[in-house]
Amino acid sequence: MMKLCLLRHGQTSFNLQGRWQGSSDIPLNETGFEQARQAADELAGEHFTAFYSSDLQRARVTAEIIAQKHALPVSTDSRLREINMGIWEGQLLSEIPGLYPEAWAERLRNPVDARAPGGESLRELSLRVTQAIQDICAQYHADDRLVIVAHGLCLAAFLCHVQNIPLEEAYERIPKNAIPKYLDWPQLS
């Protein structure tokens, strides 16, 4: 069975400040670079077939730091980007409910299908990311091991899908920065 190693990118200044970065292209901060280096050291002794990441620099650079230890290139796929948060991107999470009370109330009522103004829904994210990972995996064999570096909500939505967990729980299942999570693929048929 194929083994996937899923990682969220290293920390950014937006993570630290509590800002929603979504699909904005925010770089790693110094802690994020250190987290990526630690993940690279942790995974250095393992054999991987290929590395994939979101095309956003925080994920791509994290993947490149890890892939260097394996002398493998990183292939990017824009479908692995974080959810598009529309006009909420760059805003402090603590301020969004006051600035956009109606849209926030809808998100609380319907976390799967609501969207920030100009953004995408959690369901749309889940479908996009799941299709991307299925397409990536279809290129490899059952004994291959792939690393996929993406984003917190992106990976949480994918894991909810494959583990049969209600998608509403994705926000509570966002992985920590640069900590490997292993998954056998396909986990569910």
Peptide bond into 117 cis (omega under 30): no
CB 30 within 8 A of CB 11: no
Give catalytic status of residue 70 as yes or no: no
Cα(113)–Cα(119) distance, rounded to whole angstroms? 11
Q: Considering 9, 89, 151, 161, which one is annotated as catalytic?
A: 9
Side-chain-side CA neighbours of residue 24 (13 Å): 18
Query: What whole-number distance in Å separates Cα of residue 41 and Cα of residue 132?
Result: 27
Q: Exactly one of 30, 46, 47, 82 is catalytic; which is it? A: 82
How many C-beta atoms surround the C-beta of residue 163 within 10 A? 11
Q: Which residue has the tokens 């290293």?
A: 10
Query: Annotated catalytic, 141?
Result: no
What residues are labeled active site? 9, 82
